[in-house]
Amino acid sequence: MVIQSPDQALHILHIEDSPADQGLARIILRRAGLDCRIQTVETLDALQQALQSQVFDLILADYHLPGFTALDAWALVAPLAQRPPFVLLSGAIGEAAAVDVMRLGMTDFLRKEDIARLPQVLTRAMEVHEARRAKKQAMAELALSQQRLAELTDHLQSSIEEERASIAREIHDDIGGSLTSVKFDLAWITRNTPADQPLHAHALSALEMLQLALGASQRIMMNLRPPVLDQGLVAAVQWLAEGFERRTGVAVQMRTSSAQIAASPEIQLVAYRCAQEAMTNIGKYAQASRVEIDLSDCEGFLTLEVTDNGCGMTAEQREKPRSFGLRGLQERARTVEGWLDVSSQPGRGTSIIVSIPLPSH
């Protein structure tokens, strides 16, 4: 395999004070068919000037040189943003010392008596260097992608909550107001129409249907953006628990560390939505007879734990491709730098814990 840099030649910086060893390295690389441009330096000052003036594809270094060692050379090379592979070519140190210098980050070590293997060692060093560079770039791109995804998730969650609040206001102001006006008119008709008239019976029936519509609009509005959130997270989760118990008949026990939990509106909303989603999942899938909710703000963290005694989940059920409920909770928690833990076993219920750091004041 022939190593080539973009200009079709491998640019090597050789740190070596022996002209004989310099010449031998050149001959061996040339015989191996490697197109190399080799620059030699013998002092630290010359090394520093060379590193500042150009970029090298590889650095080849003896260990002991007049006035310094390869460790001193490495100290100049290691901080470089585009650090080239660093191969130690020396006969002056033992295997243990060679292992120690490799742990510092040098790419490889070759004894001078084995210099015939230099082309293979340099080839491997370049391959390892390229693999590490590609891995580093891939990890950087992945981190950037994850950051952009988190920012997009945050934006979408904010947009959804704003839209929910807007729809809730419209239901309250427009639909709710109109339905209430119609209710007053129907109530007036029933009061001013003889009970034995067909119109009276129709008005009563319409009044009952209207009351159901008002209840539905109130329920939808509360689910979109419950005004009880303005009274604090504890009150909102308590209202959620009471509504769940009333609708499903499943007993809910709630424990809190305090009557009021001091947290930003964003954190409170995330915790509330997590509780809401957890309760919705319990109502749909858990077949539970008891639910426990623990809400606390101890030791600098807001912690919400929702536990049921239902049928539980397998690991495969939690990781199925289109299971977005738990993933949605995880992304919600991440928007406020929190995290989500799920503990569940088939037949032994499920526990969902959301932890969010609270800013210190």
The pLDDT of residue 4 is 44
- Tens digits of residue pLDDT in 71-109: 999 999 999 988 899 999 887 677 777 777 778 888 888
Q: In the chain, what are the domains?
A: 10-138 (3.40.50.2300), 228-361 (3.30.565.10)
Residue 341 has pLDDT above 60, yes or no: yes
DSSP β-ladder status, 36-41 and 58-61: unpaired
- Tens digits of residue pLDDT in 280-313: 989 998 999 999 999 999 889 999 999 999 999 8
Q: Judge whether 286 and 311 are in contact, CB under 8 Å.
A: yes
Sign of the alpha-carbon dihedral angle for 152, 155, 157, 163: negative
Q: What six digits make up the tokens of 29?
A: 């690389």
Please state whether 14 falls in left (phi above 0), alpha (psi between -120 and 50) or beta: beta
Q: What are the C-alpha distances in Å from 351 to residues 191, 220, 311, 322, 333?
A: 54, 27, 12, 21, 16
Highest mean pLDDT: which range of 130-144, 156-170, 220-234:
130-144
The pLDDT of residue 5 is 42
Phi, psi of 332 (to 5 degrees): -60, -45
SS3 (DSSP) at 34: coil
Dihedral angle computed from the Cα positions of residues 277, 173, 246 and 296, in that order, rounded to the nearest 10 degrees: 50
Q: What are the C-alpha distances in Å from 326 to residues 30, 69, 295, 346?
A: 61, 57, 19, 17
- Tens digits of residue pLDDT in 35-56: 889 999 999 999 999 999 989 9
Beta strands in the chain (DSSP E): 10-15, 36-41, 58-61, 64-65, 68-69, 86-89, 108-110, 251-256, 290-296, 301-308, 339-344, 350-357
The pLDDT of residue 133 is 84
The pLDDT of residue 324 is 61
Per the prediction, the chain carries an average pLDDT of 86
Q: Which residues pair with 259 in a beta bridge?
A: none
- Tens digits of residue pLDDT in 106-125: 888 888 888 999 999 998 88
Largest Cα separation within the chain, whole Å, is 123
User: Considering only CA atoms, which of 37, 39, 92, 85 is closest in space to residue 62?
Assistant: 92
Using a pLDDT cut of 90, give the percent of the chain over it: 38
SS3 (DSSP) at 100: helix
The pLDDT of residue 288 is 94
- Tens digits of residue pLDDT in 306-322: 999 999 988 777 776 55
| 86 against 159, higher pLDDT | 86
| 345 against 2, higher pLDDT | 345
The pLDDT of residue 172 is 74
User: Considering only CA atoms, which of 284, 243, 273, 274 is closest in space to residue 164?
Assistant: 273
Among all chains, which residue has been given the structure tokens 């010392």? 97
Angstrom distance (rounded) from CA 247 to CA 238: 14
The pLDDT of residue 6 is 43
The pLDDT of residue 168 is 75
